[in-house]
Amino acid sequence: MNWSEFARWGARISDWAANYHGGLRDKPVRAQTAPGSIAAALPATPPESGTDMEAIFSDFETLVMPGMTHWQHPRFFAYFPANAAPPSMLAEFLVTTLAAQCMLWQTSPAATEVETVMADWLRQALGLPDSFQGVIQDSASSATLAAVLVMRERALNWTGNTAGLSGQKLLRIYCSGEVHTSIDRAIWISGIGSDNLVRIPTKGPLRSMDPEALAAAIEADKAAGHVPAGVIACTGGTSTGACDDLKKVLAVARAHGLYSHVDAAWAGSAMICPEFRTLWDGVEDADSIVFNPHKWLGAQFDCSLQFLKDPDSLVRTLAIRPEFLKTHGADGIINYSEWSVPLGRRFRALKIWFLIRSYGLEGLRQRIRNHVAWSCALAERLREDGRFEIVTEPVLSLFTFRRKGWDDDAHIAFVNAINDDGRIYLTQTHTGGRIAVRFQAGQFDATREDVETAGAVISEFAGAS
């Protein structure tokens, strides 16, 4: 392909993209293909000679598209959204065109400096104090891993990277059972081991980590000769939206000198709305915080912000400085590759810049407020319908419910039938020892009518009382 062909195809694909988004409501949300059908339709061996782009694009439409679940569909109510607002997509087009590897300041000064400013814009938007500095990670999983590695190094007096964990006392990390499984994975990768992830009981309507039980667990581990290393709290847990009482939990962490990390991957975006910040009251006492603009703010995946009270601890944990990665003759610069596990970095900050400038914070706030209001209204509609019970009350735009009189198998069948129908997409979760149906509104282009459609579909498949 030459550059004139590239320009022609770029325009054609842009038109295709606009038509695709404009027609999403006419498509089933979840892919309706059978397992293995896409792979069976692809050639078993690679081509020896080139193929015309017309044929390639035709195959994309006929072979790939039927097997895609449409995450940008306005009736996507499963998991959490992975939004991609139009300005964000255009920014990604430019980033892909430039194709820069932005690991160091000198490899693209603009990427580093825009990232610094965008992280501070988002810090201000969330109402965090200026003691925090931010870095854009690929995902909350990477940010959590980075935080756990800092916990490990601090607890081992900065010897873990050199001496390893063999022969060391057991390190202990504390969290509730409501945290995301990315915490488990971080514990595995860090070498701490899942047996040393201590699950603290929860209490109250927000399923918050019990601070008294946390303190007792830490004291018990110290008495047993173990080394408490860190506390991981959550705001807006993935399953049911659980929120820890950060004031109390972080006070326990501070009292014992433990590094603290708050996972607000989904709910953090809502904190641009001041009225929702009660859910993470006390967050300013955390050492590390993560939230994902790619979930609810409309920044194309991947884009995760980690805020740090002491970036030097992260740099001390992760930085490696061979001569070929040094920037000479420039003092006071930031090399963000020293703030993340991967050395390579994409220019992720550009999409945040485009996004915030295009909509403004108030435009983004209104979308989130709408989603919360519409989801809460649906919860009330189901509550008033005698066939349903609300299992966990709405946290922002997330709640869970059950059909009265049904067992777990019936609820799984209910979710599968709805998703096979295609008009909406839901998932289930496990809470209180039973299966519940999980609903969240958050797709960037969702409307009140889309949420009302969800209510109608749920009612239809629930059958007669």
How confident is the model over 185-205, as pLDDT tens digits?
A: 999 999 999 999 999 999 999
- pLDDT, position 317: 92
Q: Tell me the pTM.
A: 0.92
Q: Tell me the CA distances in angstroms from 172 to 159, 181, 214, 218, 245, one per residue in order.
A: 16, 17, 12, 8, 21
The arithmetic mean of pLDDT across residues 341-353, rounded, is 91
Gap between the Cα atoms of 151 and 160, Å rounded = 10
- pLDDT, position 331: 61
Domain formed by 93-354, architecture: 3-Layer(aba) Sandwich (3.40)
Could you tell me the pLDDT band of residue 326, with boundaries at 50, 70 and 90? low
Higher pLDDT, 230 or 162: 230
Residue 303 has pLDDT above 90, yes or no: yes
Instruction: Tell me, letter by letter, the H, E, C secondary structure of the chain.
Output: CCHHHHHHHHHHHHHHHHHHHHCHHHCCCCCCCCCCHHHHHCCCCCCCCCCCHHHHHHHHHHHHHHHCCCCCCCCECCCCCCCCCHHHHHHHHHHHHHCCCCCCCCCCHHHHHHHHHHHHHHHHHHCCCCCCEEEEECCHHHHHHHHHHHHHHHHCCCCHHHHCCCCCCCEEEEEECCCCHHHHHHHHHCCCCHHHEEEECEECCCCEECHHHHHHHHHHHHHCCCEEEEEEEEECCCCCCCECCHHHHHHHHHHCCCEEEEECCCHHHHHHCHHHHHHHCCHHHCCEEEECHHHHCCCCCCCEEEEECCHHHHHHHHCCCCHHHCCCCCCCCCCHHHHCCCCCCCCCHHHHHHHHHHHHHHHHHHHHHHHHHHHHHHHHHHHHCCCEEEEEEEECCEEEEEECCCCHHHHHHHHHHHHHHCCCECEEEEECCEEEEEEECCCCCCCHHHHHHHHHHHHHHHCCC
Higher pLDDT, 346 or 277: 277
Contacts 24+ apart (CB under 8 A), 310-313: 311/133, 311/135, 311/339, 313/150, 313/153, 313/154, 313/259, 313/287
Q: What percent of the chain has pLDDT over 90?
A: 82
Q: Dump pLDDT digits (tens) for 55-80.
A: 999 999 999 999 999 999 999 999 99
- pLDDT, position 334: 86
Residue 328 has pLDDT above 60, yes or no: no
Residue 110 has pLDDT above 60, yes or no: yes
- pLDDT, position 148: 95
Residue 386 has pLDDT above 50, yes or no: yes
Residue 329 has pLDDT above 60, yes or no: no
Gap between the Cα atoms of 255 and 68, Å rounded = 49
- pLDDT, position 320: 76
Contacts of 54 (CB under 8 A, 6+ apart): none
Name which of 260, 306, 303, 268 is nearest 155 in CA terms.
260
Gap between the Cα atoms of 213 and 199, Å rounded = 10
Contacts of 383 (CB under 8 A, 6+ apart): 389, 390
Residue 108 has pLDDT above 70, yes or no: yes
Gap between the Cα atoms of 351 and 91, Å rounded = 5
Q: Tell me the CA distances in angstroms from 132 to 118, 266, 283, one per residue in order.
A: 13, 19, 11
Amino acid 368 reads I
Q: Dump pLDDT digits (tens) for 216-256.
A: 999 999 999 999 999 999 999 999 999 999 999 999 999 99
Gap between the Cα atoms of 182 and 239, Å rounded = 13
Gap between the Cα atoms of 155 and 427, Å rounded = 39
- pLDDT, position 389: 96
Q: Dump pLDDT digits (tens) for 354-366.
A: 999 999 999 999 9
Evaluate whether 197 touches 175 at the Cβ level (below 8 Å). Answer: yes
Structure tokens at 184: 């488990």
Instruction: Give me the residues paired with residue 439 across strands.
Output: 399
Q: Tell me the CA distances in angstroms from 136 to 114, 192, 249, 271, one per residue in order.
A: 11, 25, 26, 18
- pLDDT, position 240: 92
Could you tell me the pLDDT band of residue 257, with boundaries at 50, 70 and 90? very high
Q: Where are the domains of the chain?
A: 93-354
Gap between the Cα atoms of 271 and 124, Å rounded = 11
The arithmetic mean of pLDDT across residues 37-51, rounded, is 92
Gap between the Cα atoms of 345 and 337, Å rounded = 7
- pLDDT, position 330: 54
- pLDDT, position 280: 96
- pLDDT, position 71: 92
